[in-house]
């Protein structure tokens, strides 16, 4: 495993297992399987509705709690709920969370970030961060809060390497963690001739080439899958290294356009969407 040293000194594994869209016994089993097949980071969220099952999967794995990096996201409808972080700890059945981030830049995110800061100071959270925040709202956090975010989770892949926020994150030593690391399985990207060529050279899949690109760019990433075969294969990316020339080749496929387009309507919907455990 390779790691990112966060701006507060915490080591975060680069590769994580994403759990969005997985529920019940399936996710419990898949989390346990992932932790025993190359992953040390598990990513979930209040809004995924599977935190309790993720917690069971962590215990089922047999690994010690301190061997696992657990991250989750605070749901926007909980941004002024002072009990929300403690409730999250209870659902996950853990004493601390390695990383908690604000899921979306809506509602009272300043108050919510200060909630994260309080929990961080009490040792309930080992690191705090943001997800999907544009530069101007990250700056608002910096202007109104005490602790610089350690991580920013955002859409990032070779077709769009988060260029709208990456320079700002670098300036403030905020680590970038990719969701959509495979462009949501975009067939154009997975079959791009550049990745096909490199896959043939290294006897890997195009998926593995793209995931390796993320790690060599210094990004964290949280690919998810319900297939045990794909879960295992997605972790088999640390036994080869792309050359500088090959990284430059991949740079040439950048389309400068994210797949996920933020609109006022989508933000309004996110602001109102409750977690399944809320009344």
Q: Quick check: is 202 catalytic?
A: no
Question: Which among 129, 99, 124, 142 has a CA at the least distance from the CA of 12?
Answer: 99
CB atoms < 10 A from the CB of 233, how many? 18
Catalytic hit among 3, 39, 48, 260? 48
Cα gap 31→24, rounded to integer Å: 11
Secondary structure class of 217 (helix, strand, coil): coil
Q: Order of strands, edge to edge, in the sheet holding 16-18?
A: 16-18, 41-43, 69-74, 99-102, 128-131, 151-155, 175-179, 220-221
Cα gap 237→213, rounded to integer Å: 9
Which sequence positions are flagged as catalytic? 48
């Amino acid at each position: 495993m390779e790691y990112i040293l966060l701006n507060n000194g915490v080591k975060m594994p680069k590769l994580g297992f994403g759990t969005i869209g997985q529920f019940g016994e399936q996710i419990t089993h898949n989390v346990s399987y992932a932790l025993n097949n190359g992953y040390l980071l598990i990513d979930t969220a209040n809004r995924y509705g599977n935190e309790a099952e993720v917690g069971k999967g962590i215990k089922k794995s047999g690994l010690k709690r301190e061997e696992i990096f657990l991250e989750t996201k605070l749901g926007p409808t909980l941004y002024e709920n002072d009990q929300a972080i403690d409730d999250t700890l209870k659902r996950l059945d853990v004493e601390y969370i390695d990383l908690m981030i604000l899921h979306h830049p809506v509602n009272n995110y300043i108050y919510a970030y200060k909630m994260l800061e309080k929990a961080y100071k009490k040792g309930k959270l080992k690191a705090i961060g943001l997800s999907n925040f544009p530069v101007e709202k990250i700056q608002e956090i910096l202007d109104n809060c005490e602790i610089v975010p350690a991580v920013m989770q955002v859409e990032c892949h070779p077709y769009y390497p988060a260029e709208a926020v990456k320079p700002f994150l670098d300036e403030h030593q905020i680590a970038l963690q990719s969701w959509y690391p495979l462009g949501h399985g975009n067939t154009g990207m997975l079959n791009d001739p550049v990745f096909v060529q490199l896959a043939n050279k290294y006897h890997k899949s195009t998926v593995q080439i793209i995931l390796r690109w993320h790690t060599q760019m210094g990004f964290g990433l949280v690919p998810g899958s319900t297939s045990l075969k794909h879960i295992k294969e997605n972790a088999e990316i640390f036994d080869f290294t792309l050359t500088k020339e090959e990284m430059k080749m991949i740079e040439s496929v950048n389309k400068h356009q994210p797949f996920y387009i933020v609109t006022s309507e989508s933000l309004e919907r996110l602001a109102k969407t409750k977690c399944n455990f809320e009344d």
